[in-house]
Amino acid sequence: MIVAKLRFHLSFLSIQLVNTLLLLVICLPVADLILSPAYHLNNRPEVGKKYYSYAAAKQDPAAYAQWWNYYLDQWNLMGRVFMVDPDNKLPHRLRPGWHGELFQSRISINSLGFRGREIASDKGNTYRIFALGESTTFGCTLAPSDRPWPELLEEMIQQRLKPSRPVEVINAGIPALNLQNNLYRLQKDMLPLKPDMIISYHGLNGFRMLDHALPPVSGKIPPVYRERPMRLLAGVEHRLKILYYRQRSWNLVVHSPKVSNVLESEYARAYRDLITITQTNGIRLALANFSLAVNSHSSLDVVKFYQATFPSVFGLIRANMAHSLLVEQMTQQDPRICFVDTHPHLDGANENFIDLAHLTQDGRQQLAENIFVSIRRVLDEDLSRNEHADTRHDVPIIQDAF
């Protein structure tokens, strides 16, 4: 300030302006360092704070941004659990015998490459269920007490049905894999273990296989937030665009997908292959639809919240509509397939989600509940049969279908 005053012949107002700018440049960073909230200094945010939720993020966007960086870092660290598939048929596999952490929860991969406790190659009299899926089945667990939904489902079966023979639910979910990948794993890794039932919970990772079946959209999609050199100006620009969008009363209408389109999709072919494998090998099949934090009935503000981290959220909502229709059609065409509706109290219930697709512990509990309700009749029927019968012994294993 002294140099500016002596070196330049400035007017009184100019001097005050220069002084103010210099003070802002120096004082604001110092004040930010002194008054910075605790989450800036915490590399492991408390998962119980629910920074990820829409309600919490509205109250403290900066804390949400910090959480999101932590969230991505944790998933990147999870790369240690993956290994190259020896047959080069899959993007990756789970590393057998690996133990580590995801957020503050413990992850254990058994010697056969599934998350959870060790399982016997010879199942004996056990009724064996494989939960086939993606990272949403593997489980995005946060706290030490959190558990994936296959574990919760097994507990429900034991406590509510009290079966006379052992029942186990094996977590066969792997992050980043889709149904096509899991068809290969089913033939190579799971059929030799003689499953009695396969529960398929697939969705997000395979939505690209529905591209040509997605329903049309009427209206204009709300504007997307654009990064600018100054975040403050970027925020003002985005708010003005949203205000203009709402004043113009543009209504975004997502039309219902056509049955013929979804049944001709690549996803439909993958489901037909799954049906063929299970029925050829005498395995019960339960097909589940998929749940997201938002759907076509969600408020625009909530959808926009998820658009910040999932820019294609409007397309994903459309894909989930088409996928739900596909699963319903598949089960209606074959009464031997059990339809699992995961939507009650879950689809669109954003408070049960960590992000667009991964669930909180309450969300996993609700998912397990919905699955249990859907398969209970089939379980009662199967478990009421001769408890010493093993219907898999004389069934051929088809491993070269693809």
Assigned token pair, 139: 């489980």
Q: What is the mean pLDDT of each run of 10 residues along the chain (402 residues)?
A: 70 79 74 52 66 91 89 90 95 96 94 96 95 97 96 98 96 97 97 98 96 72 67 70 62 72 95 98 98 94 91 92 96 95 98 97 98 97 70 43 35
Q: Where are the domains of the chain?
A: 130-216+255-383
Convert the chain into a string of H (helix), E (strand) and C (coil): CHHHHHHCCCCHHHHHHHHHHHHHHHHHHHHHHHHCCHHHHCCCCCHHHCCCCHHHHHHCHHHHHHHHHHHHHHHHHHHHHEECCCCCCCCCEECCCCEEEECCEEEEECCCCCECCCCCCCCCCCEEEEEEECHHHHCCCCCCCCCCHHHHHHHHHHHHHCCCCCEEEEEEECCCCCHHHHHHHHHHHHHHHCCCEEEEECCHHHHHHHHHHCCCEECCCCCCCCCCCCHHHHHHHHHHHHHHHHHCCCCCEECCCCHHHHHCCHHHHHHHHHHHHHHHCCCEEEEECCCCCCCCCCCHHHHHHHHCCCCCHHHHHHHHHHHHHHHHHHHHHCCCCEEECCCCCCCCCHHHECCCCCECHHHHHHHHHHHHHHHHHHHHHHHCCCCCCCCCCCCCCCCCCC
Q: Which of 269, 262, 138, 281 is nearest to 198 (CA)?
A: 281
Q: Kind of pairing, strands 99-102 and 105-108?
A: antiparallel
CB of 17 closer than 8 Å to CB of 4: no
Query: Are residues 174 and 94 in contact, defined by beta-carbon separation less than 8 angstroms?
Result: yes
Predicted local distance difference test score (pLDDT) of residue 395: 42
- In this predicted structure, what is the pLDDT of residue 247? 61
pLDDT at 225: 66
Domain covering 130-216+255-383: architecture? 3-Layer(aba) Sandwich (3.40)
pLDDT of residue 397: 40
- Owner of token pair 């910040």: 308
Model pLDDT, residue 256: 75
